[in-house]
Structure 1
Amino acid sequence: MSAYLNGEFLPLAEARISVLDRGFVFGDGVYELVPVYSKKPFRLDEHLRRLQGSLDNIRLANPHGVAEWRELILRLIDLQDFADQSLYIQVTRGTPDEGQSPRDHAFPKGVPPTVFMFAQPLVTATPEQKAVGVCAVTAADNRWLRCNIKAISLLANILLRQQAVDADCAETVMLRDGFLTEGAASNIFVVKDGVLMAPPPSNLMLTGITYDVVLELASAHGIPHEVRVISEAELRAADELWMTSSTKEVMAIVKLDAAPVGAGVPGPLAQRMDGLYQAFKQQVMRT
């Protein structure tokens, strides 16, 4: 697998950074994850806009313009020997120069950011997996208050996601002060009486690109939907629950905290939305 690091394309196994890089020492950086189908990046402009938003929020200047990012990304995609890819982009605040404190919380001065990218094979859920659905557990959302930043410091999400793994489930659904926020590594949608509901974008959640596509498809195809706060009671009384992400796409949650969701099988709206999403993805890839 090929990677990109600070202006150089090289084998991933040869990529090296300083141990004093602020991404390593502090988790001081942001990232993006771009799905690639048949060597075509999916919604690249939207991913780059979100990357810009994350950089702005941590007060780190973007090292590249959109055209330069696009050129680098397309070249890295082309260097891989597999067509469907999960392309990771990471930008950190770099490594302090000699003479600057190697571990000072304050931003180092005059230091270029570290830019790192690599791609791995993209593995999405199979039709057979989607036909069965997955289980999830709930947990208190004990993360910080800037969850809208796609920061590389993901320890809280890791610990929350591990609760699902320990329960042999696919995801942890998070609740803060009695309201739904998101999954540890996904967004969560609720369906009740034929209405699709999603928590509104805020500093308490990271809105995914798939989240945006689902709402766009709901609007385009006349599916009743609401973007509003969702209570824990509404979550537990749902007819359908979905998790959405670049790798899970639209995946039905059929059991929550060991209790069945609705009929305990993927619901009709999840199946319809997955079909719409697959068709939309194919259309985008053809253009």
Structure 2
Amino acid sequence: MSYIVFNGKLSKRETITIDIEDRGYQFGDGIYEVVRVYNGRLFTWQEHVDRLFASAEKIRMSIPYTKEEMKTIMESLIEKNQLSEGTIYLQLTRGIAPRNHAFPANDVKAVLVAYTRQSKRPADLMERGVDALVVPDKRWLHCDIKSLNLLGNVLAHQEALDAGCYEAILHRDGIITEGSHTNVSIVSNGTVYTHPANNLILNGISRMVMLKACESKSIPYEEKAFTVDDLSHADEVFITSTTLEITPVRMINGQPVGSGDRYPIIRKLQDAFIQEIEAECGPLH
């Protein structure tokens, strides 16, 4: 029997009901985070909660918990569900109020929901790589907000799946932004390039860890936009996310990336990523 967090309290999952006038359900009016858990410990929690509060500020939503309270709640959820390796999904909506485009009154509190999911590190994907499809980025212009409005991402991802690919790589007028649920980086002549953290992408936490890994391994990098043509001629391409860590892209639009299955820079970054995990959460098994 699993437990979830509902409005700050641990409850049995089957006892919870969501109000049909929750603004997350009716408007997608809310924000979320997915946090990795290794050895029963939250990985990069501070970065996730900082981004959560930043997203809330950008949509003018008040979070009725402090960052410290949020961490205590999530740690209690991990312990209650005896989660050793997996993820926590948490979301906040603007609350429950009669359907109206205008914000509800100030006394309407945000609704917090969180649950855990067991999942192992995708070692096979990180080893062999994945295939990707390049598609137009049709999303809104506030991708830096980790909002519940993910229909554009869903449609792009499904287009990739329909083509037999794992991920969609998005572009705006020929400039690569990110993936449907990942950040995208390339390696060219030994340098890592990734789109600047502006309103056109979500500044992924794993992206941040990857850039830290570049520094620890003395790998040059630039937060600089690159084109579809740059992508097609890159020596290595990889995606980063909370669940995928650093995963190579082996094929794009049916064409092999670089020399195929040789990922010298990616392997160095993967090693450094593991070091970051173990420094914060203990040895991986």
Shared fold per TM-score greater than 0.5? yes
Q: Distance in 2 between matches of 1:7 and 1:201?
A: 31
The gaps in structure 1 that reach 5 residues or longer are 97-101
Equivalent positions of 1:116-127 (< 5 A) are: 116-126=113-123
Would you say the 8 A contact 1:254–1:266 is kept in 2? Answer: no
Q: Which amino acid aligns with 2:215?
A: S
Would you say the 8 A contact 1:131–1:266 is kept in 2? Answer: no
1:6 aligns with 2:7: yes
1:241 corresponds to which residue?
Answer: 237
Decide whether aligned partners of structure 1 residues 240 and 149 sit closer, same or farther in structure 2, where only a CA change above 3 A counts.
same
Would you say the 8 A contact 2:4–2:116 is kept in 1? Answer: yes
Cα shift readout 1:73-108 (whole Å, capped 9, x = no counterpart): 111111113311210110001111xxxxx2210001
Q: CA deviation at 1:8?
A: 2.3
1:194 aligns with 2:228: no
Aligned length: 281
Q: Which amino acid aligns with 2:52?
A: L
Q: TM-score, normalised by structure 2?
A: 0.96
Q: CA deviation at 1:186?
A: 0.2
Q: CA deviation at 1:231?
A: 1.5
Q: CA deviation at 1:278?
A: 1.1
Would you say the 8 A contact 2:217–2:269 is kept in 1? Answer: no
Q: TM-score, normalised by structure 1?
A: 0.95
Would you say the 8 A contact 2:250–2:256 is kept in 1? Answer: yes
Equivalent positions of 1:1-287 (< 5 A) are: 1-96=2-97, 102-109=98-105, 110-126=107-123, 128-286=124-282
Q: CA deviation at 1:201?
A: 0.5
Q: Distance in 1 between matches of 2:239 and 2:27?
A: 30
Q: Distance in 2 between matches of 1:266 and 1:129?
A: 14
Q: Which amino acid aligns with 1:210?
A: S
Give the secondary-structure state (helix, strand or coil) at the position aligned to 1:144.
coil
Q: Distance in 2 between matches of 1:180 and 1:209?
A: 19
Give the secondary-structure state (helix, strand or coil) at the position aligned to 1:251.
strand
Q: CA deviation at 1:266?
A: 4.2
Would you say the 8 A contact 1:132–1:266 is kept in 2? Answer: no
Q: Distance in 2 between matches of 1:248 and 1:270?
A: 13
Identity %: 33
Q: CA deviation at 1:16?
A: 1.2
Q: CA deviation at 1:220?
A: 2.1
Q: Distance in 2 between matches of 1:233 and 1:133?
A: 20
Cα shift readout 1:110-141 (whole Å, capped 9, x = no counterpart): 21111111111123211x33232110000000
Would you say the 8 A contact 1:134–1:169 is kept in 2? Answer: yes
Would you say the 8 A contact 2:8–2:73 is kept in 1? Answer: no
Tell me whether 237-246 or 259-268 shows the greater mean CA deviation.
259-268
The gaps in structure 2 that reach 5 residues or longer are none
Would you say the 8 A contact 2:24–2:93 is kept in 1? Answer: yes
Cα shift readout 1:194-233 (whole Å, capped 9, x = no counterpart): 1111110010100111000110111122101111111121
1:99 corresponds to which residue?
Answer: none
Would you say the 8 A contact 1:91–1:115 is kept in 2? Answer: yes
